[in-house]
Structure 1
Amino acid sequence: MGEEMRQSLRSLAPSMSLWRRLDHVLVENKKLREQLSSSTCSLHLREVGLIESQHQVQARLQEIEKIYGSAHIGLCVFDRFLRYSKVNERLAEINGLPAREHIGRTLREVVPEAAPKAEALARQIFETGQPVFDVEFQLPGLVNQDSNRTWISQWLPLLDEDGRVAGINVVVEDVTERIAAEERVRRSERMLYAALDNTPDVLAIYDRNRRVEFINSSALRLSDRPIGDFLGKRDEEIWPEELTCRYVPQLESCLSQKKTVEFEMTAVYPAGATPRTMAMIFVPLLDDQGAVYQVLSITRDITDRKRAEQELEKLVAERTAQLEHLASQLHGRNAQLQAMALELTQAEQRERRQLAQVLHDHLQQLLVGAKFNLGAMKGRRHRSPALKSELEQLEGLLNEAIDTSRSLTRDLSPPILYQSGLADALKWLAGEMKRKHGLQVETSLDPAAEVTSEAVRILVFTATRELLFNVVKHAGVDRATLTMQREKNMIRIAVQDRGTGFDPNQTRARGGPSEGFGLFSIEERVGLIGGRLEIDSQPGQGSTFTLLAPGDSGEPASVLENGTGLDTRASRLRSGPTTAGNAIRVILADDHGVMRNGLATLLGEQPDICVVAQASNGQEAIDLCREHKPHVLVLDVAMPVMDGVQACQIISREMPAVRVIGLSMFDSADLARPMLAAGADTYLSKAGPPNLLLDAIRGCVP
């Protein structure tokens, strides 16, 4: 058995060797297949990458083509024969020919005017292979053939694989407007330097190291020195030390602080000459980063102006003294006129009382006596009926005469006015208006609102009666209201109705018709005692008449808060000198020079008030306020160019910190209301006491 196994194994040995060889071949074949598969995959990936790269290149080319076609400058490519092989839309527009019609045509065929110069450039580039930059062409424009356009072109060679020039890439840009703008700038610079050079002021420009870069002809004429003595040098190298020490610190301050410096100085040059007063300004010139790179210096000789100012100040002082003297006289005349107004009222009332006394003591007594005698006659028996009837008629006439006399006595001088005071007298007057005229008057009378002066009390009563008569005559209603109240040291009486109304301005413009005469007479008389009458009325909307009169004193000069009859916000402003360390900066605006000078002199005498500028119209006032930023603007109402109301509106809107005081020769509330509505802090009359204006100015500054 063992031998058979061995024989079998020997017979199988060749087969086993063959199988081993076959197995080795199979293994090798498998390795080859794996290598082939890997190579195939790698090749496939390379093909995919190549396709993606081709897509990217294609997209990039399309993007470049898009940029090329939409560029704002002209672009084209010429072949070796100067034929267009590529043109963008901008160059086609410049040449006036569609882009597709350029292709294959020569430059001479498309732009014959540029051909000679362009062909010479092309030959140079093909020979040297070097680009040519900034080549200028001047050719007629497409719109206007009579005017040339200027073009700047860049010529760049295109090389083939062997490094030879195969074509030319050209870039064209229209620079006509840029060249014109540059020329305008150069012309402006020439004009500017000509202006600087010929101005009478001394002008100089310093660099940041204080060295002179420019100086005008005026400086050369005044100094009698050549320009070489100035350029590139500092002032210490040019002028004496006693002169430079006066202004070089200000120049250095301008450089370090980056702020304009203005000042005046007295200079003596050359030595022994007459001193001159100079006004100097240093203005810093800043670059884009905010650093000072130059300083402009302006020097002006103001000697003559200073001398004229001194003479003017002397003249103003003389005129002011004259005006003060005249004002003193006028004040005295006003006081006399006010006293005369009160005296006139008292004289009228004395005549009324005397006439009433005559009626009471004589006429009424005679009438009563006659009535008694008539009664005695009636007591007798008369046979004649006719005589009896006549006696009865005569008695009726006597009774009517007695009633009329009594009524006339009360109208001329109501006893209650002297016995019980103003409130009771007005209440009695309301009853009389109902009894005589059918006017129902509703009253609201404050007993504490009493007038101490008999003359003023009589005038107020008479004026109120006239106002109620106006309601009866013109309002067309049978009801009215009468109120009286106290406002500090003033008595306010108001008569109001809901009648036809009227336009007070038109009534004044017509010169005062019959219905207005009594009102304006009241205005005048109340104004003379330091009061006023306000009229608020419109057609169809009724009327309100407000009477203000002094209540505590019979002296007209001191009964009102502002001496003008206007209850403005000035009475609510703090008075007295300011506690601030700096003076109150004031601008005066009035179209009358004498008035401005008078106000300036008045304010100039106050140690805490400084007049910084004066304006003659509303627009100047606005400009000066923007420049000087004052604390207070004293603003006239009526001025040319722009009135005070318009100016006040603009200033209140743009510069709310500026306090405005309105002034006018008129004390009408019709003028006060627009000014106060426009933003004014108060409204005063020019005829008022000066102290009121000073108090108002000081009251504007906290």
Structure 2
Amino acid sequence: MQTLEPKDNSRFEASFLRAPIGLFHLSLDGKWLEVNSYFCELLGYQREDFTPLSLMAIAHPEEREEIQAAIHQLQTKQSTNYQKNLRLLTTQNTFIQISLTLSWIEDTPAYLLGIVRELTPQELEQNSENELEKDLLKTLIDTIGDIAFVKDMQGRFLFINQAGLRGINKTLEEIIGKTDIELFGSELGEILIENDRQVFASEKLHEFEEIVDFEGERRIFLTQKNIYRDRQGNLKGTLGITKDITERKHLEQEVLLQQQQFNDFFNAAPVGMLILDRQLKYVRINPLAAAVHGLPMAEHIGKQVKDIVPHIAPLIEPLYRQVLETGQAILNLEVSEESFTQSDNPRSWEVSYFPLQDETGTITGLGVVGIETTEQKAALRERKRAEEALRASEQRYQNLAQLSPVGIFQTLIDGECIYANERTCYLTGRTAEELLGGGWMNAIHPDDRERMIQEWQKAASEQNYHYQCEYRFLRPNGEICWVLCQTLPELEADGTIKSYVGTLTDISAHKNAEQAIQKALEELQQTQAQLIQSEKMSSLGQLVAGVAHEINNPVNFIYGNLAPAREYTSDLLELLHSYQTTYPNPSPEILDQIEEIDLEFLIEDLPRLLSSMEVGADRIRQIVLSLRNFSRLDEAEMKAVDIHEGIDSTLLILQNRLKFKADRPAIAILKDYSRLPRIECYAGQLNQVFMNILTNAIDALEEYNKQRSLAEIQANPSTIQITTHHLLETARVAISIKDNGPGMSESVRSRLFNPFFTTKPVGQGTGLGLAISHQIIVEKHGGSLQCTSQLGQGSEFRIEIPLRQTPIAN
């Protein structure tokens, strides 16, 4: 505890510390400077107990704000002393009621002098009554929804109720002692302070509308302010009540806006509108209704209906009174001048009458709304005439469409069918109901449907103005109907297509004839090609046979003389040996000749020479036999043959293409022959099949090797594997010719046996080899020829033919 240093300690102790009343000194920041003994005894404290405390610490919580405000007023010299009955905390944790007087003492430094005395029983009773009144008043002020506040002469808040705390969204501590500028900023604060000045100047009640932008929201308050005085009549500050009228202002603005909108609507409405009171006097009328009457709006107000429109008043006044009396509206009543004038061009209206009520439900008048329908009536009559003409036209169109020899249909741009005539139903084999919507798509042949849909969508997307195509309908009974479809668009006003109208012409007869001609042409071309190919093979067979025959005679002559030549040579060599034994010392001439001809080598090599000639002659005989087997000119009729001989003969002829050459690697032939019985067949034709398949395999492998490196070829050398099987279950034989070449795609494989189809460059293939082979195996021998292949997996041709041919197959 800080202590003031008195000038005379004895006097200070007598007058302050031992005074029979509580005294204390308080610094301006609320710290205890000195307390006397009476004050300590009153509260039960020792002097040193006050060191950590402050006056606020021992004051009752409900009174701390008021004490703080009083100290602030003393500090700011708004007043020189403060007196109040308060409650202070004792060491027994109870509150004692005392009378406190605070005075400002001007010294160095300045401080506050506090005088405390305990209240008498009478004062306690009076204080209790005052506190009750105060509590009741505070409770009453806190319960009102408006903001109540009190400010001092400097505009600092001394009091504000709970509604004010909620409205400003601050605590009491944050508000008490603060000015408007400190709470609301300089712009709004200056306005509020100026309002206070006006109240001080007039000393009368004032009312202000104050606009506050608070936390991002603009609010409008209606504030009533007045001055207040103390008991001595001194002016002490302002007090006020503030009501938030934001919603009311918004509602007023909304009402004004609605009123303006109603006025604008009433005056600008494209219909006649008027309001009458119960005496059928005009209260209000809009320009259009006034124009119908031919008078300005102002001349209607206050006048009765019969004064304005006397010629129709007898007709409409009873209706007006009916609405006023019954409270029931009359809606959409048709009124025409024909009822009361002889005009050549009578006007007509559609009028509604409805009652108007006040807030009590009492009918105060009626409203009238009228829409002129003269032009609409004329347009309706014209439309009816047009509709009748259109119906007649549509009926004619329907009759023509039903009798038309071509199919007629109509679709929307998305392809949805909305009309189909009887001929269309006949062509598709379906009813009109089945064709409507997307049903007509089901009538299109499945093979043509996707193409047709794509072409239709393309035409629609490109806004084509004419579209035609040919396709097939598949009828429910399986019949096919070819049609030529032609369409033209129906256009909207802006030129866009809204639908298509089309015709269907039956072209089945034309298509069938065209297909028959095409088929005959293809058969003719195939037959011609086969004849040419057969002629080529026949000529080749005759050439091979002729060559074989011409070679065979001299070879047989040579081969037949080799055995006698071997015997003669052996005899001569034995005779020469006898001479050498008998005459071991020949003449010098003979010795020179023996040395010159190298007799010893000649005797040793001559038998080997004859053996080599025999092997070569035998090889030529085998080649001639293979050529004769391949040509089979002497076996043109069907007979039982060894299939393996035909395969081997074909391989012998192709040997030159199989063996290694400088510009190409060898192709290995892998044979896996089963034991087969002899087979009835046309041997020459069957050899032709082997030749075609093996030649194609060699061509594919050679082309494949051109695309591979030497390392790739060595890692996977080219091979052709020939396998034969005896199929006991079906009494057939199977011949498989498989290569490890590049293989082929499914699209190529599926067309292999089509005439004239080839993958080879122009001039290197006719496209007939496999087609003829297929015909020979299937048609001539009653067998089957199939190919299995995948890209990168090589190709395999499998031939199956019966062991014995039946008369039907033949």
Assess same fold via TM > 0.5: no
Query: What TM-score, normalized by structure 2, do the two folds share?
Result: 0.32
Query: What TM-score, normalized by structure 1, do the two folds share?
Result: 0.36
Structure (1 or 2) with the larger CA radius of gyration = 2
- Counting helix residues as a fraction of each chain, which structure ranks higher? 1
Name which structure has the greater RCO, CA cutoff 8 Å, separation 6+: 1
- Counting strand residues as a fraction of each chain, which structure ranks higher? 2
